[in-house]
Amino acid sequence: MDVADLTLDELRLALAPSIAQAAVFDGWSADALDMAADQLGADRDVARLAFKDDGAMGMICAWIETIDRQMILDLPPEKLAAMKIRERIRSLLQFRLEAVKGQEESLRRALSIMAMPQNARRALKAGWHSADVMWRLAGDTATDYNHYTKRAILASIYAATLAVFVEDEGEEKAETKAFLDRRIEGVMKFERTKAKWFSPDREHFSVSRFLGRLRYPAR
């Protein structure tokens, strides 16, 4: 399809990967957007219109959405079905890490922007959506409190893993892989013991405190 025929929403997603590449050097800026437009063959003014009043956070969210969409295409439920749940989750998280490998500086800058108070709501929404996509691809159909706890935990683990990933200078990202494996083990333990924790005789169990411990475990 001709770039000129794309809607503004379609153009945002088409530009996002190239913006991320340019952000390694220019940050999530108008310069990065112009470079991406030139690379795609899009009119710069139209490209800027696609992100009008949305700025850096809009570019970052578009980038995240492209990763979500590619993950759905590359790791559909039927491809993951033969794996144990642990491996499904690990494969999905690893896919996302591979998708941003080589763009650690762009990711580092993106995380800093997402951490700004004015962007907290959108950042949380984006993280929740990615976690929801991953659980659905993994075959989760929970509709009760499990639906929310699973996504909250996975979003937290993903965020913590990204923080390790951007600082991991190893060629094979061994530190990140080890960290991720430990966090997934935490999820599996949670799933195995959930019935016990939420049983009637544990009336004083604090969900928020428990999730906090999972998010900030000893490394």
Lowest mean pLDDT among 76-90, 158-172, 179-193: 179-193
pLDDT digits over 176-194, tens only? Answer: 999 999 988 877 776 666 6
pLDDT digits (tens, 9 = 90+) for 138-153: 999 888 888 998 899 9
Q: Bigger pLDDT: 93 or 189?
A: 93
Q: Where are the domains of the chain?
A: 1-53, 68-215
Residue 173 has pLDDT above 90, yes or no: yes
Residue written as token pair 């310069």: 31
| Res 205 pLDDT > 70 | no
| Lowest-pLDDT range of 46-50, 67-71, 82-86 | 82-86
pLDDT at 123: 96
Measured CA to CA, the distance from residue 130 to residue 44 in angstroms comes to 29
By CB neighbour count within 10 A (0-12 exposed, 13-18 middle, 19+ buried), where does 121 fall?
exposed
